[in-house]
Structure 1
Amino acid sequence: MTEADDAERLFLGTTAGEATYREALDRAVEAVVDAADRERPFSGRSPDALDALLDDGPVLPEEGVGLDAALDEVAERVLPHTVNVADERTAAHLHCPPMVPGLAAEVLLSATNQSLDSFDQSGAATLVERRVVDALADLFDLPDGADGVVTGGGTESNFQGLLLARNRYCADRFGRDVQSSGLPLAAKRLRVLCSEEAHFTAEQAAAHLGLGENAVVTVPTDDDRRMDPSALDATIADLRDRDHEPFALVGTAGTTDFGAIDPLDDLADRAADHDLWFHVDAAFGGALALGDERDRLAGVERADSLAVDFHKLFYQPISCGAFLVRDGAAFAHAARNAEYLNPADAAAPNLVQKSTRTTRRFDALKPYVAFRALGRERLAALVETTLDTADDAAALLADADDFDLLADPSLNTVVFRYRPDEDLTAGELDRFTRAVREALFNAGRAVVARTEVDGVAALKLTLMNPRTTLDDVAAVLDAIRDCARTVTAVRREVTA
Structure 2
Amino acid sequence: MNLQEPLSIDLEKSIRENKTHTYLFSNNKKSVAAYQESMAKAVRMISNHLLENEKPFSGASLSSLKEKCDAVSLYDDQQHSIDYVLEELKELYVNDVINFHHPKYIAHLNCPILTPTLVAEAFISSLNSSMDTWDQSTGGTFIELKLIEWTLRKLQYPTNGDGIFTSGGTQSNLMGLLLARDHYIKTHYNMDPKMDGLPSEANKFKVLCSEISHFSLKKNLSLLGLGQNAVVPVAVDKNYKMDVNALKKTIQQQKELGNIPIAIVGTAGTTDFGSIDPLTDISPIAKENSLWFHVDAAYGGGLLLSKKHKQKLMGIGLSDSVTIDYHKTFFQPVSSSGFFMRDKSFVDYIKYHADYLNSKEQEDEGIPNMVKKSIQTTRRFDALKLWMTLRVMGADTLGQFMDSVIENAQFTAQLLQNRSDFEVLNQPEISAVVFRYTPYNGNDSSYCNLNSYIRKAIFNEGKAIITSTKVNQTVYLKFTFLNPLTTATDIEEIIEMIVHHGQHYSSNN
TM-score (norm 2): 0.94
Corresponding residue for 2:321?
305
Task: Specify the SS of the correspondent of 1:397.
Answer: helix
Shift of 1:449: 1.1
1:414 aligned onto 2:469:
no
1:463 aligned onto 2:485:
no
Shift of 1:8: 3.3
Question: 1 CA distance for matches of 2:49 and 2:478?
Answer: 25
Corresponding residue for 1:131?
146
Shift of 1:151: 0.4
| Structure 2: gaps of 5 or more residues | 1-12
**Alignment map for 1:85-104 (pairs within 5 Å):** 85-104=100-119
1:392 aligned onto 2:411:
yes
Corresponding residue for 1:324?
340
**Alignment map for 1:138-153 (pairs within 5 Å):** 138-153=153-168
**Alignment map for 1:51-62 (pairs within 5 Å):** 51-62=66-77
Corresponding residue for 1:337?
353
**Alignment map for 1:477-496 (pairs within 5 Å):** 477-490=495-508, 492=509
Deviations, residues 225-270 of structure 1 (Å, cap 9, x unaligned): 1111111111111111111111111011111111111110111111
Task: Specify the SS of the correspondent of 2:232.
Answer: strand
1:72 aligned onto 2:82:
no
Contact 1:10 1:20 in 2 (8 A): no
1:43 aligned onto 2:61:
no
Contact 2:444 2:474 in 1 (8 A): yes
Pick from 353, 372, 375 the counterpart of residue 356 of structure 1: 375
Question: 2 CA distance for matches of 1:166 and 1:433?
Answer: 42
Question: 1 CA distance for matches of 2:502 and 2:384?
Answer: 45
Corresponding residue for 2:32?
18
Corresponding residue for 1:244?
259
Question: 2 CA distance for matches of 1:3 and 1:420?
Answer: 70
Task: Specify the SS of the correspondent of 1:160.
Answer: helix
TM-score (norm 1): 0.96
Corresponding residue for 1:217?
232
Shift of 1:2: 5.9
Shift of 1:335: 1.0
Task: Specify the SS of the correspondent of 1:61.
Answer: coil
Question: 2 CA distance for matches of 1:268 and 1:12?
Answer: 53
**Alignment map for 1:148-297 (pairs within 5 Å):** 148-292=163-307, 293-297=309-313
| Structure 1: gaps of 5 or more residues | none
Pick from 41, 44, 47 the counterpart of residue 33 of structure 1: 47
Contact 2:164 2:373 in 1 (8 A): yes
Question: 1 CA distance for matches of 2:173 and 2:141?
Answer: 23
Pick from 123, 127, 132 the counterpart of residue 112 of structure 1: 127
Task: Specify whether residues 18 and 12 from structure 1 end up closer, same or farther in structure 2 by C-alpha distance, changes over 3 A only.
Answer: same
Contact 2:420 2:439 in 1 (8 A): no
Contact 1:142 1:326 in 2 (8 A): yes
Q: How much identity, in percent, do the aligned residues show?
A: 36
Question: Which moves more between the two structures, 16-25 or 61-70?
Answer: 61-70
Question: Which moves more between the two structures, 12-21 or 145-154?
Answer: 12-21
Task: Specify the SS of the correspondent of 1:194.
Answer: strand
Shift of 1:271: 0.9
Deviations, residues 138-170 of structure 1 (Å, cap 9, x unaligned): 111110110000001111000100001101111
Question: Which moves more between the two structures, 71-80 or 304-313?
Answer: 71-80
Shift of 1:389: 1.0
Contact 2:22 2:31 in 1 (8 A): yes
